[in-house]
Copies of this chain bind each other. A is one copy, B any other.
Amino acid sequence: MPGVPPTRFTYLGPAGTFAEQALRTVPAASRAELIPAVDVVEAVQAVRTGDADAALVPLENSVEGAVGATLDELALGEPLMITREVLLAVTFGLYTRPGAELSELAIVATHPHAEAQCREWLRANAPQARYVRTASTADAAVGVARGEYDAAICAPVAAEQYRLAELGKDIADTPGAVTRFVLVSRPGPPSAPTGDDLTSLVAFIAHDRTGALLEVLTEFAVRGINLTRIESRPTKERLGRYCFFLDCSGHIADSRVGEALMGLRRICADVRFLGSYPRADGVAADVRPGTADADFAGAREWVQRLREGRAH
């Protein structure tokens, strides 16, 4: 389309990372410009400055847990909004330059998360190898191609891109690891409810209020909302101060979610809404009796009638 610039996506690069793989599952990415970033901060910052329209960054991994840098970017600084989540099965292999043998490897490079997930395999199969950390698994592949390291633990897609040979396939000690990525953009209207959505937010609890976290969870429970994740992060003020990342089922357009957010807003020191977006894990929405939009509308109308003395 002449005159219309393509959408620009940044992602945790370099080319060949799991982030790129995840980004390619987003339909809009097929006709967009994809820009690798050095790290999460750079990827996200490009969105804030307008250099990119959205950034795909990892949020958590089923083995390694939360990605602190992503959480910090979401909780602090200029507000951002999650518009989509992408779940990607993470498969690691061991790759080298053609001709090398497993028993001869001296230096194996990879990202610390990948190393942690393949540690036992490496001890059993290449006990002589020394491990060197890289900024991403794709960086390790690049380094092997350049001759800096003997082998890399990385995704098959990266090995393919840098034309490396496979010495081991699916080498993670715990098979079936999944990374959850989120697509982050500047704030705007949330995407339309699909009937099976997640809502993410950060709650900064009031620290002079005992039992504040219990109160926060009760705001969801009392409205029948299921929390799918709770993750604490330091607020960086001092040890013992945390904020809480909460994911719940439902969309901010749902009455129960909106009213729960109102409750948090009233009892918390601060609340940051991070977005409502379609749920990717295929778990069906579970709306408890009495918490559907029609129930809220009916109850609201009833109270309104009582206030006006129209009916009892």
Contact = CB atoms under 8 A, between A and B. Distances in A.
Interface residues of A, number: 81
Contact of A217 (B213, B272, B290): B213
A180 B226 contact: no
B234 A60 contact: yes
Interface stretch (A26-34, A156-164, A183-191): A183-191
Given A187-B312, A265-B303, A298-B265, A232 B234 contact: no
Nearest to A222: B222
Interface string A174-212: 101110100000011110000000000000000000110
Interface in A51-81: 60-65, 68-69, 79, 81
A214 B218 contact: yes
A241 B215 CA distance: 23
A299 interface: yes
A238 B178 contact: yes
Interface stretch (A17-25, A99-107, A142-150, A255-263): A255-263
A230 B205 CA distance: 13
Q: Secondary structure at chain A's binding surface: helix, strand, loop or mixed?
A: mixed
A76 to B, nearest CB: 11
A127 B57 CA distance: 25
A221 interface: yes
B263 A222 contact: yes
B68 A64 contact: yes
A303 B238 contact: no
Interface of A: 41, 60-65, 68-69, 79, 81, 87, 112, 116, 119, 133-135, 174, 176-178, 180, 187-190, 210-211, 213-215, 217-219, 221-222, 226-234, 236-242, 252-253, 258-259, 261-263, 265-267, 272-273, 281, 290-291, 295-296, 298-300, 302-303, 306-309, 311-312
16 contacts: A65-B232, A133-B134, A214-B218, A214-B221, A218-B218, A230-B242, A231-B232, A232-B232, A240-B281, A258-B307, A259-B259, A261-B299, A262-B299, A266-B290, A266-B291, A266-B295
